Structure formats: C-alpha cells, structure tokens
Structure 1
Amino acid sequence: MTAGGVTLAQRPERIVSLGPSATEMLFAIGAGPQVVAVDDQSTYPADAPKTDLSGFKPNAEAIAAKNPDLVVATDDLNKIVDQLGKLKIPVLLVPAAKVLDDTYREIDELGRLTGHQTEATALTDRMRTQIDKIVKGVPARPSKLTYYYELDPALYTATSKTFIGSVLGLFSLENVADPSDADGSKGGYPQLSPEALIKANPDLIFLADTKCCQQSPATVKARKGWSAVTAVQKDQIVSLDDDIASRWGPRVVDLVQSVADAVSKVPA
C-alpha cells in the first residue's frame, strides 16, 4: 500500500490522527475501527477516540505510546515526521487543502493506505455530485453578490485565494477582503479595519466564529457603524458552524449547502 510517499507492507490497524479534517476523512471512508487515538481538536464524529494528543505541538513519545502503525498529520510541526521516522513509525501528511481537488486527493490517499480505496472513491464521487447539484441549484444572478467572511471579531478574514474562498467562489461571489491582501503577503488571511469593512459594504456576511467567539447576527448588528452595511440592513448575516467552516473534509458539502441557502435567499 503506497500513498503520499508512504508505503506500508500491510493494512494499518492502529492509526493515530493528529488533525480534525484527517479524522473526519478516516471515519467517512470506513477506517474508523482502525483509529486508536485522535488529537484534542477532533470533535467529530462523536465516537472518535479523542485524547490529549496535540496536533499543534505534537509529542513523539506521547504518540508512540499509542503504538501506532500509521500516524496521519496535517502539518510537520516540531519536525514530527523525522521524530517518528526514527521510531520506525510512518507518517502520512494531509496538509490543509487549498482547493476542493486537494480534499479529494487526500481522501483517495487515505483510502489507498488504509485499505478502503473503494469507499474513498465512492465518497469523493458522492461529494462531487452533491456539490455540483447544490451549486447548479442556485439561480443565476444578473450581478455578483459581495461578501465578508469572518474568522473572529477582530475582523480577521479569508480571501478568495484560500480554501474557504475557493468554496464560496463556486457561487461567483466577490470577496470584499481580496484588495487587503492583493500581493498575498498575508497568506490569504488579512485583518480588516471596521472602516474598510463598512466602506466595502458587503451584501452577505458569513460568521465562522459563532462557537469560538459567540458571534451572531445580533452581535454584528450591535457593532458601531455597521447598521449602514447592506448585509446588516437586509438581515443577510449567516451563522456557520465553526468546525465545519474550518475543515476541509467530507462535511465541506454541508458548508456548500449553507452558502447556497444563504445566496438563494437574497432577492435578485
């Protein structure tokens, strides 16, 4: 079994996942029974074996104590790949997706490496079909809607060059944050000023900080000066599930549906 530069002699039966998106992918392709431990941020599915392992500060000894025959990580922090390599523990990296094709590729890699290729192919085919149907089901508009995507109340946001930006781009929406990181120096995640945001006057506001920061349409409406924003005036503020909105696994279909519902409600 070979995928992502990793070769295994046999199907792994003790998998450790160090990332929420990786965990969701593994369970979605039927590899859940092979997963013996997941990191402290893996909240879905509910029956995933959550531990105090950290994906942000991975500890080789703590991971090795789980006796894994495969570790799936989303980043090579603390040079964990080398550290675990010295312990003869293989690591598959499934880094943050930049576009949907990255998600499909990672699901395929996990399927091949865990012995669930058929299930992985079925999952990606299903995701493609569902997303295509959802996008095509949204009526065409005479002009593009603009939007602001909020990561936290300090007005950090994501541009069109990010994964989330590519997902919203499926609906031909215009991102008001793009001019704030035109040269890409902020990695696609600039911080806007309240003045700039109000001036940009987005038609839609998507809140991806409802869980972490308790933001809601009501808290947005209460912000000073925001009453002049079209999205506020027309009640076009969309509350998203933080977890679904920040991950690039199978539940991206749910995110696409949420965006479709919001766009469809805006009068042409």
Structure 2
Amino acid sequence: MNRLLALWFALCLHAMAWGQVSVRDDRGVTVSLAAAPQRIVSLLPSFTESICALGACARLVGIDRFSNWPASVRNLPKLGGLDDAQIERIVALRPDVVLAAPSARVIDRLEALGVKVLVLDSKSHTDVQRALHTLARLLGTPDAAAVLWARIEREIGDAAARVPPLLRGKRVYFEVDAAPYGAGAASFIGQTLVRLGLANVVPAELGPFPKLNPEFVVRAQPDIVIAPERSLADMPKRPGWASLRALQAGQTCGFASDRYEILIRPGPRMGEAAQLLADCLVGLERTR
C-alpha cells in the first residue's frame, strides 16, 4: 500500500510539473503559471484573434473594446483600450493572465495587484510570428503556432503570385490614420507590401507607423494610395493633395471599415489581408 501511495504521489508531482507553463515576453520578463491559463483577458484585437486562431477562444473571459472577430467574442465583457483599460473589472474577472501591448498603460498597476501580464509586441512579421509561438506555448499547444504561421505564409505567397506584373515595384502610400500616419517599410504592413512586390514611400528609418507632414505625401507622389474609404474620399480636400496623381488617376484602394480592420491587425488574418490587397491590385491593373 505504501509503495502504491508513493507511486501515486510521484505521478501527481509529475503531472503538476508537466502542467506548469513558463514563457518569456517581449520585455524580457518570464511569466510563470501553475498550468496553462483557462481565464484570459486580451487587451488588443490581434491577441484576441490569435488566441481564437490557436483554438482557445473559449478561454477568453474579457477583451478590449475593439475586438470583434471571430463573432463568438462579441458578447464578452469589453474592458477598455490601451489608454483606459478598466482595472477593477479586469481584476474582478480573476484572469490567469492578461495579454497586453507594450504601450498599454495598465501593465504596472495590474502587476502591482498580483495579476500576471504577458506583454507582446507586433510591429513586424517577425514580431507576429514570435508572439504566436509564445501564445501557443502559453496555451499548452506549442505545435499550433507553426501550423498557423505556415498558413499565413502560404496565403501571402498566393496573394503575391496574383499581383499583376505591371504593378510590381509601384510606390505605395498606406494610410493608417488621417493625421496622417502612414505604414512605414519597417511595419508588418510595409513588409506585406514588399512581399507583394511593391515599394513604400515611407522609408524604414521613419519607424513602423510615423506621423507624417502632409507635404511629405504630396512630394512623394505615390503611384498607389491605400486607405479606408472615408479617408480616401476626404484626401482631395486636404491642402495640396488634389495634386496627387494616384488620386487623379483612380489608382487607389479604398476599404470599408470591416475589411480595413483586417489589413491593420498584426495576427492570424495577415494572409487574408494580403489577399485583399491583391484583389484590389488586380482591379487596378484592369482599369489602367
């Protein structure tokens, strides 16, 4: 009996050790949990989408106000955003871990209250790939990330193959905000554009998503302009922008808000984003 008891105890210890999860986030902080988290709060849409794409949507107990995909997350508690996450409500949900971007203001406060916070960056393709692998390890399904990333790569490759040869090398201005902010060559969006055979008027040295002087865009004279539909419609009203030849010639890709969200979220739908861009480029080639 004592021998059986000792064996049972050893098996329990082994199971406990196997269940422990320890991952290193993009701050260099090691986040350790007794087991894979069952209650997760996501404070960024791309994290929400990544958790779901890795098969763990049911573990989400709260999300930021902008998370809206897949449809199953829309009824979860909305907990604010990067600048105004609702700390008391987050703590009340008793999360095993909170997923946050480096710019989230609540990180220190949550950790002071004893909440585990995993901080991940997502400015580039490399960042996104690393984040997916980190999340997969956190969830206890480490192999899932490689499968997901292979699908993203395959979709981007398929999109690149559809880009008309006459448009390869064309210079693009991709607007992320009407301020204006542009997607630079160093961003995940800029890297997708390069994969599609396009050039970027916003150089890498300006950073991933720099605020631009409006005159910069006018002087750059991009061959193609990509933006939300509403921003595209307003561009000719901006001082000097009516002289942009891309606007005059209709060499533009304007996206409805639901489609545009796919383009600007660095996560599992990046392959779909590349396909949307390729669809527009095919349409532009037909109108030339």
TM-score range, shorter chain: 0.7 to 0.9
Verify: 1:192 aligned to 2:213, yes or no.
yes
What residue identity is the alignment partner of 1:255?
A
Structure with more helix by fraction: 2
Structure 2 unaligned segments of length 5 or more: list them: 1-20, 25-29
Counterpart for residue 215 of structure 1: 231
Q: TM (normalized to structure 1)? A: 0.83
* Cα distance, 1:133 vs structure 2: 2.2
Q: Cα RMSD between the aligned structures?
A: 2.6
Note if contact 2:181-2:209 (Cα within 8 Å) is conserved in structure 1. Answer: no
Displacement of 1:222 after TM fit?
A: 5.8
Q: In structure 1, what residue type is equivalent to 2:192? A: V
Alignment partner, residue 93 of structure 2: 66
The 1:52/1:231 distance shift into structure 2, 3 A limit, reads same
Q: For 1:62-211, list aligned pairs within 5 A.
A: 62-75=89-102, 77-78=104-105, 80=107, 82-95=108-121, 97-141=122-166, 144-178=169-203, 182=205, 184=206, 188-193=209-214, 195-207=215-227, 209-210=228-229
Quote the Cα distance in structure 2 between the aligned partners of 1:116 and 1:63: 25
User: Where in structure 1 do 4 or more consecutive aligned residues deviate above 6 Å?
Assistant: none
Q: Which runs of 5+ in 1 are unaligned?
A: none
Counterpart secondary structure, 1:68: coil
Change (3 A) 1:31 1:247: same
In the TM superposition, what is the alpha-carbon distance from 1:246 to its structure 2 partner? 2.2
Paired residue total: 256
Match of 1:234 among 249, 256, 260: 249
User: Bigger radius of gyration, 1 or 2?
Assistant: 2
**Do 2:50 and 2:268's aligned partners in 1 also have CA atoms closer than 8 Å?**
yes
Q: Which moved more, 1:58-67 or 1:14-23?
A: 58-67
Higher mean alpha-carbon deviation, 138-147 vs 37-46, is at 138-147
Aligned pairs for 1:4-15 within 5 A: 4=24, 5-15=30-40
Q: CA 1:227–1:53 in structure 2 vs 1: closer, same or farther (change >3 Å)?
A: closer
CA distance in 2, matches of 1:119, 1:257: 23
> Which range moved further: 248-257 or 143-152?
143-152
**Equivalent of 2:274 in 256, 259, 264:** 256
Letter in 2 for 1:234: A
The alpha-carbon deviation at position 170 of structure 1 amounts to 1.5
